[in-house]
Structure 1
Amino acid sequence: MIEPRWIALALLAITVIGSARLLWQQRRGPRRKGLHLVALLVLQCAASVLLYVTLAPPLTQARANRLTVLTPAADKVQWSPARGDTPVALPEAAPSTATVVPDLATALRLHPGTQSLRIIGDGLPARDRDTALPGQVQLLQPAPPRGWRALQAPPITAPGSVFHVHARAQGVAGASAELLDPAGVVVDRGTLGSDGSIVLEGVARASGRSTFTLRLLDASRHAVDSVPVPLQTLDQPAPRVLILAGAPGPELKYLRRWAVDTGLDVQAQASVGGGLSLGDAPVALTAARLAATDVLILDERSLPALGAAQRSAVQHALRDGLGVLVRTGGPLGDGARQALRGWGLTVVGNSQRAPLHLAADADAALLQARRGPQRPATQTTTYIDEADAASHSAAVPVLEQFPLRATDASALLHDGKGQPVGSWRGAGKGRLALLPVTDSYRLVLSGRDDRHAELWSGVLASVARPLPNAAQVRIDAPTPWAGERVALCNVPAAAQVRGPSGIAVPLHIDPATGTDRCAGYWPQQAGWHQVQQGDITQAFYVFDPAGASALYRQQQREANALLVRDATGSAVSGTVTAPGPRWPWLLAFVLVAGLLWWLERWRPRMPSPAP
């Protein structure tokens, strides 16, 4: 806003120039009468003064009133206006007798003496949260919405990977939840914890963008609320895996078979003594070979057999991003422990074998939905079909593990009771992990090749060398909503957003954001939106407030609670100083300007010459 002094200086300069013009015309002729000239000069000064007080009206004493703003769900709150209270309603509020204003800023301009603000309902929408609030703000909200209050959608997932959906609900006793795939088939279900939280999982299929559904059920199995769960699946380059074993065995056999069937770029070899090895061609652990590898898998025998130069090469490759996994088919000796300690993973625990109970399966329908359609056998028979059906309904066998763990490390897996199995930690840019499971191959022998693939897919995903990520647009909103502004940062030049309707909207970078290169975007439709820059496309999902009303209301309530907490202060009582009304000065300015215009053009009538 322009300061009043600059307005005064500009009007003074205009007045001086106008007066000089009148005096110059008076000197060059035709001459005006003295009274006419004085009236023009006086009216010109008066017009300048009136215009100034119109733009910057004098301060007056105004009553420090309280402004009550009705927001969405205000009709669910019991309240009554007090003396000196002025109620107004935002467009999103339910119809009422209060005066409707387009936004909060307009309401504050219409009531300049407002020093106390009372917000009724869920709170201010995103449009009004940047408005400067008075000294004291009070928030009266209805009961929390019944349904989902928080949702964490899964990140970008590779085809065939298991993804997890984290959510939290409120207001529903004995609640449970179901995760439905895009076809409406339930793929997972569970009971909410004491805090209302739950974690459900599914399996990503083919690459592309899809929308799952998270449904909340009450104790009677009636649907209470549902929210969409966006999932984006992208094809990833096949990890390059190198497996070195101290001896052949079934664990190596089925691990290699799974890697080949999955399409991984795998090379495996096992030592049989005497300098001989089985499997693929012998591999030298050089810096160049390790740089071309994403995951190096060793066992308790091949690890201590590495020479000093090989250990040094692996350590340097770890710092550059290599993933190293040590699996234990037998007790972990001192040599292997020292090697792991030298790389940064200190292992504690004994060599007593213990049973490993993996998480139990869901019911048969959920299990089939997660697996998807079975691949038909090449030469199917009745016995093959019966054996295949029996194996796919077989129980998960009890495996064997060593009670080994690493200090200052994260869990690699979890058993059926949620206890950690194995450990991993970062080492430079790479990751170092220990998997103390001896017989995961028994999952395949019992017909549960799906659980075997799930186990090793999760392990390699936690350890593999991270992919080089291209510069991506950052979305500064946990849940983008249709109709609300979304800040997109790291925006490249000439980028645009294409919505579900196919209309492309160019992005204009705000220079004030500096190196963050942020731009504002107002999505009008829910669904998948794509940021496009040349041939590069990045998708993000925009939620519909009507399709996830409980989640939208809860986020609005939480944002307003933070807003009120930061804005609360002491209110001013009595009277306050505020700008006076402008309309009287504007009316006087119009009258004076009109009179000045008429006198400027008025000329006395000359007498007619005598005949």
Structure 2
Amino acid sequence: MTYSLPTPLLPFWLVLALCALLAVGLSVSALRRANRSRRGWRFGAGLLAVVGLWLLAFPPSQPLRSTATDALLLTDGYSADTLRQLLRQLGPGTRFWRYAAPSASPDTSTLSNVAALRQRIPGLQRVHVLGQGLPAANLPELGSVRLTMHSSGPQAGFRNATWARTTQVGKTWAIDGFFDNAGATGAVWVRLRAAGGLRDSVQLPAGRGAFRLQFTPKTEGRAVYELDARTAAANGLRVTPEPLPLDVLPARPLRVLLLAATPSFEFRFLKDYLARQGHSVALRVGLSRGLTQTEFLNQSAAEVGRLTPALLGHTDVVLADAASLAAVSGAEAGALQAALRNGQSGLVLLADPAAALPRTLPARTDFALELQPAKAAQEPQELRWAVASPAKALVPATLRATPALRTLVTTLRRQPVAASRRIGLGQVVVATVAETFPWVLQGRTSAYAAYWSHLLSAAAPPIAPAANILPNDPWPRPNAPLTLRASGLPMAPITVRAATGQPVRVALQQDERVPEWAEGTYWPSTGGWHRAASGGTTSWFYVFRQRQWQGPETQLRQQAAAQWIAQTQSQTQPALAATTNSRPWSRWWGFGLFLLGAGLLWLEEKL
């Protein structure tokens, strides 16, 4: 503890004279008391009151060791133990701030601009960042100041998650991620809530690990699903739900040509299902030799007797059984091969295990059938595909897996029953399951829809890229710069508008590497859905709030900090410039001593 005379000296001498007079007066009063047994008590109480009054006016100062070259910056999730350890190492007088968050205590200053540190500490050489870290966009504000990270341990929550931000009605949508329970034990349930209810869940027996959840949206529009985690115990872990924004688009209408050698329930049910889904369907069924029947749904009548370039130019997917494809002529096979290579049409073949694959099948040598044993072929087997619930069907044959094929559907023993092969820009799909219509009779319409959507999507030609406006950052945040990339649009400003607030115009600059791209910087001020528009093009993107998805945000900040340290800083550590500052005692000490002494004097007089 140190003590120095205040400047100016006049108040000091006045207070000193007042305390001296008070001490003399209280001493004389104590000597005049008739009861001599309590004189010492009265002398001590008077002295305590005088000392308290003096400390209240002029408290002493305590020396504090600090560094003039280092500063501490506290971010979300920092450890108090790490802060105390650094203060012991650097000195208790080292200055620290809380970054971009309301202060939790009145003596912790808040700082929202990293560049302001260099103005507050002119000799600043190193910044210690505790907790989550700084956003990547704020790291250049450090300039030549060194950065040292002090990350906290892992916390319970979702470390990362990926999902498609857009999907189509009727298509199965999935989310993949990793949950970490921060070293705790016990099983954890990860759950997906969508469309007003619990749609899927998975149990992690170890309390941590990768997970995959799925759901099939049935209505179009923008929605925000929820992902949460909890333990089975009533008082166990409860993780705050995280939002899953999803823009559900209308289903893509396909133009499908069905070719069947004979009437069958499979094609009848499939025709009706595709028509109900809004697809254009043309059906050609052989009735007898030289006699065929045609039917058209959601489209006008057309000539479908032969596979011509004109017909295939207006067809997205040709779905045929083995007998009908084997009956096409050489010219028709050539037209189909050309349509596949040009990316105009795709082909789905329902193989017949009783016969070899048609010679007119493109890339026929890459597909090889393997017959199932008689007993296995007569028992329904469970089928699995990428993002759908299992269903059972008769599997008379399977496909031989080769590097040229992409497996679409398998049995439980991972035997392919449907696979695709690229031919030029198109796809050929071969399936060995002959009957799926029993699923409709059994009420398993969702499995039926998912199965055929999976096969038709694999065979359908790709959609030509359309003009769009997308954010480059998968985790946009309020009050942080967000780069918007416009593709296929003229060089004109785009208009961005949140759910609440005024529209903001964002200027675009052409990308130097890809002329078709243009980028602009937008600063969102609030969370939620945002609409970006330019001319007749409209896109939607979601801005997450500050406390949402902290796990992926922490990883991004730590990765950005590691890259910044590796790129801009050498291994040489700057020398610490130790300084000594003084911090005055709290005046409450003097006030408390004064009240204690005055109270004892009052009590002694009443006794």
Shared fold by TM > 0.5?
yes
Aligned counterpart for 2:314 among listed residues 261, 285, 292 = 292
> Matched residues in 1 for 2:384 and 2:141: separation?
51
CA contact (8 A) 2:135 2:557 kept: yes
> Matched residues in 2 for 1:89 and 1:117: separation?
11
Secondary structure at 2:166's aligned position in 1?
A: coil
Aligned residue in 1 for 2:383: 358
Between 531-540 and 188-197, report the one with greater CA deviation.
188-197
Aligned counterpart for 1:179 among listed residues 179, 184, 192 = 192
Aligned residue in 2 for 1:146: 156
Aligned residue in 1 for 2:221: 208
> Matched residues in 2 for 1:182 and 1:448: separation?
20
Which AA in structure 1 matches 2:531? Q
Secondary structure at 1:358's aligned position in 2?
A: strand
CA contact (8 A) 2:496 2:533 kept: yes
Instruction: Report the structure, 1 or 2, having the larger strand content.
Output: 2
> Matched residues in 2 for 1:401 and 1:457: separation?
22
User: 1:292-341 CA distances to partner (integer Å, 9 max, x unpaired)?
Assistant: 011111222223332222222112111222221112243451544x7332
CA contact (8 A) 1:116 1:571 kept: no
Aligned residue in 1 for 2:292: 277
Aligned counterpart for 2:269 among listed residues 254, 267, 285 = 254
Structure 1 pair 416/77, CA: closer, same or farther in 2 (3 Å)? farther
Aligned residue in 2 for 1:267: 282
Aligned residue in 2 for 1:91: 99
> Matched residues in 1 for 2:402 and 2:534: separation?
45
Which AA in structure 1 matches 2:308? T
> Matched residues in 1 for 2:384 and 2:68: separation?
64
> Matched residues in 2 for 1:193 and 1:269: separation?
53
User: 1:183-229 CA distances to partner (integer Å, 9 max, x unpaired)?
Assistant: 2x111112248762222111212221111111212243753231111
Secondary structure at 2:167's aligned position in 1?
A: coil
> Matched residues in 2 for 1:409 and 1:481: separation?
42
CA contact (8 A) 2:476 2:542 kept: yes
Which AA in structure 1 matches 2:382? H
User: 1:158: Cα distance to partner?
Assistant: 2.0
Note if 1:307 corresponds to 2:329.
Answer: yes
Structure 1 pair 533/422, CA: closer, same or farther in 2 (3 Å)? same
Provide the aligned C-alpha RMSD in A: 3.3
Stretches of structure 2 that go unaligned for 5 or more consecutive residues are 1-66, 296-302, 578-607
Aligned residue in 1 for 2:498: 499
How many positions carry a matched residue from both structures?
479
User: 1:531: Cα distance to partner?
Assistant: 0.6
Which AA in structure 2 matches 1:518? E
Structure 1 pair 505/331, CA: closer, same or farther in 2 (3 Å)? farther
Aligned counterpart for 2:466 among listed residues 456, 466, 470 = 470
> Matched residues in 1 for 2:189 and 2:231: separation?
6
User: 1:536: Cα distance to partner?
Assistant: 2.4
Mapping of residues 186-225 of structure 1, within 5 Å: 186-192=198-204, 196-220=209-233, 223-225=238-240
> Matched residues in 1 for 2:501 and 2:539: separation?
15
User: 1:390-424 CA distances to partner (integer Å, 9 max, x unpaired)?
Assistant: xxxxx954432522045333222355677654212
Mapping of residues 51-450 of structure 1, within 5 Å: 65-78=69-82, 79-81=85-87, 82-83=89-90, 86-92=94-100, 94-95=103-104, 100-108=110-118, 110-111=120-121, 113-131=123-141, 134=144, 137-171=147-181, 173-183=186-196, 185-192=197-204, 196-220=209-233, 223-280=238-295, 282-321=304-343, 322-331=345-354, 333-336=356-359, 339-341=361-363, 346-352=366-372, 354=377, 355-358=380-383, 397-404=392-399, 405-415=401-411, 421-450=417-446
Which AA in structure 2 matches 1:191? Q
CA contact (8 A) 1:529 1:540 kept: yes
User: 1:461: Cα distance to partner?
Assistant: 2.0
**TM (normalized to structure 1)?**
0.70
Stretches of structure 1 that go unaligned for 5 or more consecutive residues are 1-62, 361-366, 368-394, 577-611
Secondary structure at 2:293's aligned position in 1?
A: strand
Secondary structure at 1:400's aligned position in 2?
A: coil
CA contact (8 A) 1:64 1:574 kept: no
Which AA in structure 1 matches 2:500? S
> Matched residues in 2 for 1:88 and 1:332: separation?
79
> Matched residues in 2 for 1:424 and 1:568: separation?
51
CA contact (8 A) 1:145 1:554 kept: no
> Matched residues in 2 for 1:575 and 1:142: separation?
24
> Matched residues in 1 for 2:350 and 2:320: separation?
6
Identity %: 24
> Matched residues in 1 for 2:525 and 2:79: separation?
27
Secondary structure at 1:302's aligned position in 2?
A: helix
CA contact (8 A) 2:124 2:145 kept: no
> Matched residues in 1 for 2:104 and 2:130: separation?
14
Secondary structure at 1:104's aligned position in 2?
A: coil
Structure 1 pair 122/417, CA: closer, same or farther in 2 (3 Å)? farther
Which AA in structure 2 matches 1:319? R
> Matched residues in 1 for 2:252 and 2:575: separation?
70
CA contact (8 A) 2:346 2:461 kept: yes
Structure 1 pair 261/76, CA: closer, same or farther in 2 (3 Å)? same
Aligned residue in 1 for 2:476: 480
> Matched residues in 1 for 2:561 and 2:416: separation?
39
> Matched residues in 2 for 1:87 and 1:408: separation?
63
Mapping of residues 538-549 of structure 1, within 5 Å: 538-549=539-550
> Matched residues in 2 for 1:439 and 1:332: separation?
17
CA contact (8 A) 1:242 1:267 kept: yes
